[in-house]
């Protein structure tokens, strides 16, 4: 019985190795429908005390502003400073915003959402200390650049 299990184990490992080591259950995100990055040309950024850099692209409208206790529906794309996309609400051809608590994001993203109105657009340049620094995330040492658009404020 033990020899039989060993034999099937060797066969299974051989099959996995013959696939080039790729995980057949892993699907890479498709970023082909992600819009171009927002242009910050001619816009003077604001830098907060924490080091977050905010480019105000569009103010949005309405009386409501995002607060720390709100939920939001947000379109976003996250890029590294070398313009590589690592996440987006548009991935895999999605045209739906992400719904989340404002507190559900990394600190810099949360800080950058506060005060935005529906339809508002910003570019957030988030230093590692306000993102994944101190974690095991592969982006822990990276400055992150997010294009953000508030679709809906849910209070």
> Tens digits of per-residue pLDDT, 10-35?
443 343 444 444 555 557 899 999 99
Q: What's the topology of domain 30-154?
A: Chitinase A; domain 3 (3.10.50)
Residues 76, 56: Cα–Cα separation, whole Å? 14
What SS3 string covers 26-52? Answer: CCCCCCCCCCCCCCCCCCCCEECCCCC
Instruction: Domain ranges for the chain, please list them.
Output: 30-154
| pTM of the predicted model as reported, rounded to 2 decimal places | 0.83
Low-confidence ranges of the chain (pLDDT < 50): 3-21
- Residue 116 is predicted with a pLDDT of 98
- Residue 28 is predicted with a pLDDT of 87
């Amino acid at each position: 019985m033990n020899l039989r299990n060993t034999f099937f184990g060797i066969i299974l490992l051989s099959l996995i190795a013959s696939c080039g080591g790729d995980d057949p259950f892993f699907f890479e995100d498709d970023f082909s429908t992600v819009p171009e990055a927002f242009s910050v040309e001619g816009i003077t950024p604001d830098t907060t005390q924490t080091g977050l850099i905010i480019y105000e692209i569009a103010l949005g409208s309405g009386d409501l502003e995002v607060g720390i206790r709100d939920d939001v529906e947000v379109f976003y794309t996250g890029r590294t400073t070398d313009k590589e996309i690592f996440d987006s609400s548009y991935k895999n051809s999605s045209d739906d915003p992400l719904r989340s608590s404002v507190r559900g994001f990394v600190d810099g993203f949360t800080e950058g959402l506060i005060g935005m109105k529906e339809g508002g657009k910003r570019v957030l340049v988030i230093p590692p200390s306000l993102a994944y620094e101190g974690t095991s995330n592969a982006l822990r040492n990276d400055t992150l650049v997010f294009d953000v658009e508030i679709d809906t404020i849910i209070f």
